[in-house]
Every structure is written in structure tokens, then in C-alpha cells.
Chains A and B, each alone.
Chain A
Amino acid sequence: GQQLNQSPQSMFIQEGEDVSMNCTSSSIFNTWLWYKQEPGEGPVLLIALYKAGELTSNGRLTAQFGITRKDSFLNISASIPSDVGIYFCAGLSFQTNAGKSTFGDGTTLTVKP
């Protein structure tokens, strides 16, 4: 099946620093999604990307849909303690019956005040 490689696996940063994480795949996706998950909760959608080369921002978050359609990047600027959580990328491809997402294994972000 399709595989996503998400890196880094974890990050420990100081408050105020910028963060970058990425996902790569050997497969092409129609849509890239980025989620954040906090303990005891389901993933919450942060940003959705629909076109190759697209750059989209949501507050301090910026994500890009790679031009090859096989990768995506998420940047967080000026991190704050509430950014702590696990960030997941997901590639979405529409097949015969339904859109099916493939998820990366997540990047665990720790922000030190």
C-alpha cells in the first residue's frame, strides 16, 4: 500500500523558535492534510492543500503541497507552549469508492517555555 515518511519523529524546541516538518511519499496524492492531535483527543484538521505548488497559511502555520505531488511541508513560526502535540500529515487519493487517507506516523512537538 501507500507509505508516507514523516520527519522528524520528534522535536524539542524553545518557545519562540520556528518549526519545520515534512512528509514524503513514493505515491502521488490529490490532497494533503495536516492535523494536530492533543492527548486524549482526535486529530484536528489544521490545513488542507489541494493543488501542486499551493502554499497555504493558517495563522502561524504555513503548509505547502509539493510540486511533484509526492510531498508536503508544515512550518510553525514563533512557537508557543500550546503548540505542543503530535502533528500528522495525510495524503488523500480518490479511488473508486471513496477518498482514502494515508497517514504519516506523526511528529511529536515539545515546546520549552
Chain B
Amino acid sequence: DAGITQSPRHKVTETGTPVTLRCHQTENHRYMYWYRQDPGHGLRLIHYSYGVKDTDKGEVSDGYSVSRSKTEDFLLTLESATSSQTSVYFCAIMGGDEQFFGPGTRLTVL
């Protein structure tokens, strides 16, 4: 157990509404990541953080923003959700040279 939790675990929302997903870690690790997983695409990096208030874009960052005001929390926000953002979202932390994943959030945008 890598000490990562995600909330909510499931969410259904409507197109155009804002959505915030939370990742919480108890490991005090510096690096945190948000990925999305879609059939046939594996895991794709959305945004990552290398410290409090320090974030950067991944390969599929359009339509997403993040914030990290505390070491333990990394928030992913969809300002105006679209159906193409229906996916499973995973948070991850980096401990040494190894990356550990949370249990995921299944988001459905209707």
C-alpha cells in the first residue's frame, strides 16, 4: 500500500460542469502525477507536480488544470467537462525511481 487515496472513486456529471478530483498521499513525496487511462491508449500523463505550487503539463493537458497547495494533496480540475473527458483517472507518486498509483477515479461525462 503506497499511501495514495483518490476521491471521489466514481463520478457522473454533465457536459459543461466543473469537476475536481483529489489525490491525497501520506508518503510526503515530492513528485505527484495525474494520468488518464482509456481503452487502447494505456496511461497518458495529464499534469505533474514537482513540489508545492510547482506543476507542469503532460502530453494530454488541454482542458485540465491542477493545483498543489500542500505536499500531500494534488487536485485535478476540469473547468468545463466534455464527453471526451470520460475516462479513468489515476494519481501517482514517485518514491525514489519507482512510481506508485492510486486506485483510480472513474469519471463519466454525459
Contacts and interface: CB of A to CB of B under 8 A. Distances in A.
Contacts of A105: 40-42
Contact of B56 (A35, A98, A104): A98
B104 A42 contact: yes
A99 B97 contact: yes
A33 B104 contact: no
A48 interface: yes
A103 B43 contact: yes
A43 B101 contact: yes
A48 to B, nearest CB: 5
Nearest to B2: A45
Interface residues of A, number: 26
A104 B42 contact: yes
Interface in A64-103: 88, 90, 92, 97-101, 103
B49 to A, nearest CB: 8
Given A104-B42, A105-B40, A106-B42, A50 B97 contact: yes
B74 interface: no
B103 A101 contact: no
B79 interface: no
Interface string B66-110: 000000000000000000000000100010011111111000000
B41 to A, nearest CB: 7
Given A44-B101, A99-B97, A99-B99, 20 more contacts: A1-B59, A6-B42, A31-B97, A33-B98, A33-B99, A45-B98, A45-B99, A88-B42, A88-B43, A90-B43, A97-B54, A97-B56, A98-B49, A98-B50, A99-B31, A100-B45, A100-B58, A101-B45, A101-B99, A103-B44
Interface of B: 31, 33, 40-45, 48-50, 54, 56, 58-59, 90, 94, 97-104
